[in-house]
């Protein structure tokens, strides 16, 4: 049984629509929903929590239909973007708040336990405004978990943190969720956070889930150019299928023959994706299993953090990620002739309908 199940959920908020949202989250699984600002991430969470009404469809939590259950009775935890700690209450009162409305026994002991797990014992009597960003996260999570929700929804709670702190807090959140075996839906617009936290990732765009799957699946097999580009620079080309022999495909891309694997037929128009880290640059061609080998001129070199993006024109412009070491070793420079190589298995094809 899944912890939460959405079946064709439709909702309208002003002139924004969530359409036909269907997915499930397994027991103890973390699903990360990624999307740009305004894609409907928060609206989706608020619909699941019951702050926004469902127009049609069904939401089930551990098999129980909660589509029309009032928010306070859904047994769902919610971590808000601004964390929503009660500013006029101490950390202790914040954490204890939900216990007043639950029938859980041994409340004092529970507080001790939770304080222990989250390492917030020393700050119990402080006021939220005196806490650091990371401490606030812990308090918000402790306040939610103490009521033992069946599933927890996170609405970009780490967005106010620095990149470094965000990663640290993200790992801690994941650790705690896994330890307590709590399923969660975590919303973010940060792809790194998505990979870090998610057992699976769903991509939302204009109120629709457009792809859902394991991180690697979406990263290497995006269903659209938009998703591919969501994870940063990548190679996207259009081509025509020339022939297909036992799913070994030859494509025409700007007059060059590219070999790939896929279930497409002759004459099909396809979009092909190749991750830049799968593209190898060489000074001289060498015998490898890769069947795609092209010669071309370096037309752009762009330093991006630890990696360097090198763009080579081989009738189509292909980008490769290389390290600083390789750049120096091969003496790669603008206008220089280089060989480009990638495996047929590195090419992901999507048929254009």
Partner 1 sequence: MRKSDKLTYTIFFIISAIVLTFISLPLIRLFFFLTPQNASVLKSRSVLMSFWNSLSLSFITAVISAVFGVPLAFLMSKRSFGKFERFVETIVDVPLAVPHTVAGIALLFIFGRRGILGAIAYNSFDFKITGTRVAIVLAMLFVSLSYTVDSAREGFKSVDRSLEKAATVLGAPLHSIFGTIYLPLSRSSILSGFMLTWARAISEFGAVVILAYYPMTAPVKIYDAFTQYSLSTSGAIAAYLLLMCMSIFLTLRFAIGEKR
Positions touching partner 1 (CB under 8 A) are 49, 51, 71-74, 76-78, 80-82, 84, 86-88, 97-98, 100-102, 143-144, 147, 149
Beta carbons of 22 and 6 less than 8 angstroms apart: yes
Distance CA 88, CA 129 (A): 9
Beta carbons of 338 and 314 less than 8 angstroms apart: no
The two structure tokens encoding residue 16: 């924004």
Quick one: 150 or 256, whose CB is closer to partner 1? 150
Quick one: 157 or 262, whose CB is closer to partner 1? 157
What's the min distance (Å) between Cβ of 149 and partner 1? 8
Distance CA 57, CA 94 (A): 35
Distance CA 129, CA 131 (A): 6
What's the min distance (Å) between Cβ of 213 and partner 1? 29
What's the min distance (Å) between Cβ of 101 and partner 1? 3
What's the min distance (Å) between Cβ of 124 and partner 1? 18
Quick one: 100 or 108, whose CB is closer to partner 1? 100
Quick one: 94 or 292, whose CB is closer to partner 1? 94
What's the min distance (Å) between Cβ of 151 and partner 1? 11
What's the min distance (Å) between Cβ of 70 and partner 1? 8
The two structure tokens encoding residue 94: 């914040």
Closest by CA to 273, choosing from 230, 315, 212, 333, is 230
The two structure tokens encoding residue 215: 């991180």
Quick one: 84 or 160, whose CB is closer to partner 1? 84
What's the min distance (Å) between Cβ of 241 and partner 1? 51
Quick one: 173 or 201, whose CB is closer to partner 1? 173
Q: Determine how β-strand 317-322 pairs with β-strand 337-342.
A: unpaired
Quick one: 143 or 343, whose CB is closer to partner 1? 143
Q: What is the DSSP track for 158-175?
A: TTTS-HHHHHHHHHHHHH
Beta carbons of 261 and 344 less than 8 angstroms apart: yes
Closest by CA to 141, choosing from 158, 125, 162, is 158
């Amino acid at each position: 049984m899944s912890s939460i199940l959405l079946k064709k959920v439709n909702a309208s908020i002003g002139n924004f629509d969530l359409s036909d949202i269907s997915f499930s989250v397994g027991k103890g699984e973390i699903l990360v929903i990624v999307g740009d600002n305004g894609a409907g991430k928060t609206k989706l969470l608020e619909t699941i929590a019951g702050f926004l009404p469902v127009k049609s469809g069904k939401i089930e939590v551990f098999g129980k239909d909660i589509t029309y259950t009032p928010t306070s009775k859904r047994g769902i935890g919610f971590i808000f973007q601004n964390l929503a700690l009660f500013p006029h209450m101490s950390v202790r009162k914040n954490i204890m708040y939900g216990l007043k409305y639950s029938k859980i026994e041994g409340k004092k002991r529970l507080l001790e336990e939770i304080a222990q797990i989250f390492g917030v014992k020393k700050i119990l009597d402080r006021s939220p405004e005196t806490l650091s960003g990371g401490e606030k996260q812990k308090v918000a999570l402790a306040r939610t978990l103490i009521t033992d929700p069946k599933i927890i929804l996170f609405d970009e709670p780490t967005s106010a943190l620095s990149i470094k702190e965000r990663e640290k807090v993200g790992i801690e959140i994941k650790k705690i969720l896994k330890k307590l075996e709590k399923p969660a839906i975590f919303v973010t617009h940060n792809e790194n956070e998505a990979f870090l936290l998610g057992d699976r990732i769903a991509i939302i765009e204009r109120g629709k889930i457009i792809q859902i799957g394991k991180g690697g699946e979406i990263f290497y097999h995006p269903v659209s150019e938009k998703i591919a580009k969501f994870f940063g620079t990548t190679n996207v080309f259009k081509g025509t299928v020339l022939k297909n022999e036992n799913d070994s495909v030859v494509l025409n891309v700007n007059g060059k023959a590219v070999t790939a694997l896929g279930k497409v037929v002759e004459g099909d128009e396809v979009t092909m994706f190749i991750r830049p880290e799968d593209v190898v640059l060489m000074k001289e061609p060498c015998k490898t299993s890769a069947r795609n080998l092209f010669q071309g001129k370096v037309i752009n070199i762009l330093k991006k953090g630890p990696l360097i993006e090198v763009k080579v024109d081989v009738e189509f412009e292909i980008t490769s990620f290389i390290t600083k070491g390789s750049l120096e070793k091969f003496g790669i420079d603008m206008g220089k002739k280089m060989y480009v190589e990638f495996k047929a298995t590195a090419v992901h094809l999507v048929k254009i309908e």
